[in-house]
Amino acid sequence: MMAGRRPVVAGNWKMHLDVQGAAALARDVVRATSLARWCDVAVMPSAPLIAGVARVLEGTSVEWGGQDLAAEAQGAYTGDVSAAQLVSLGCRWVIVGHSERRKYHLEGDDVVKAKTVRALGAGLTPITCVGEQLSERKAGQTLHRIETQVRFGLGGLAPADAERVVIAYEPVWAIGTGETATPAQAEEVHEYIRRLWASMYGDTLAAKVRILYGGSVKASNAAELMGQKDVDGALVGGAALSANDFGEIVKAARV
């Protein structure tokens, strides 16, 4: 982390909890993070749980967002959630192109790009995810894979959007596996993404864009990961379901 970039700690609750459980967790997250003024803190519940969570978080320092959005503005898209609907729920954030969306819903970089642009246009801050498979890492193709995802999923943005978008590096082999990238492995990719951003959008925007790490972030490894120069926060899955653990990760984001 570097002074000048405000850290982000975001909790991806994935397809867990129900209305009551989500509201209870949101209350506990407020308590566990109430003194955190040094970073943006947000939680992303499943779409049907957002309204209840919003009622709890309204007026607190914890923000909320969606886990996905439709690329289209509105229309006959059964089951999808629009950017405007998220905005009407008070969302400030939305995760885009998570590897679970890429895997189970076959979202490619073109869809990721369209969703990212849609989110930005609606005033949401997208957290757009990139990350290599284990086989790609083993084959020495990590940086090549990341470059493709960043260029095709996040290329051609307006400068103001290229500053606002948040990128999450989530190596697929580290998600939900308990196996975390080492701080050096994370930093290598984060630094690469920032250099790529410089080549796409210039040095000034590259110095400003926030790049989060995700993949088995825990209270015990968060400080070391976020202590890396180009790691500006965390996208937390499993550990975000414990308010205490999530609170510890938020504390670790203090520069």
- Choose, from 63, 132, 170, 248, the residue flagged as catalytic: 170
| Nearest residue to 5 via CA among 230, 235, 249, 237 | 230
Give me the least distance between CB of 151 and ligand 13P, in Å please: 22
Give me the least distance between CB of 236 and ligand 13P, in Å please: 5
Q: 97-126: which residues touch ligand 13P (CB under 6 A)?
A: 98
- Choose, from 98, 100, 107, 136, the residue flagged as catalytic: 98
Is 170 labeled as catalytic in the residue annotation?
A: yes
Number of residues that bind ligand 13P (CB under 6 A): 14
Give me the least distance between CB of 7 and ligand 13P, in Å please: 16
- Residue 7 found at the interface with ligand 13P (CB under 6 A): no
Phi and psi dihedrals of 80, rounded to 5?
-90, 160
Q: Which is nearer to ligand 13P, 45 or 214 (CB)?
A: 214
Give me the least distance between CB of 132 and ligand 13P, in Å please: 14
Binding mask 159-198 for ligand 13P (x = CB under 6 A): -----------x----xx----------------------
Q: Which two tokens stand for residue 95?
A: 């995760």
Provide CB contacts within 8 A for 28, sequence distance 6+: 243, 244
Provide CB contacts within 8 A for 54, sequence distance 6+: 64, 89, 90, 91
Q: 190-249: which residues touch ligand 13P (CB under 6 A)?
A: 214-217, 235-239
Q: Which is nearer to ligand 13P, 100 or 230 (CB)?
A: 100
Binding mask 20-59 for ligand 13P (x = CB under 6 A): ----------------------------------------
Q: 79-98: which residues touch ligand 13P (CB under 6 A)?
A: 98
Q: Which is nearer to ligand 13P, 4 or 178 (CB)?
A: 178
Q: Which is nearer to ligand 13P, 69 or 236 (CB)?
A: 236
Give me the least distance between CB of 5 and ligand 13P, in Å please: 20
Q: Please list the active-site residues.
A: 98, 170
Task: Catalog residues that contact ligand 13P under the rule CB under 6 A.
Answer: 12, 98, 170, 175-176, 214-217, 235-239
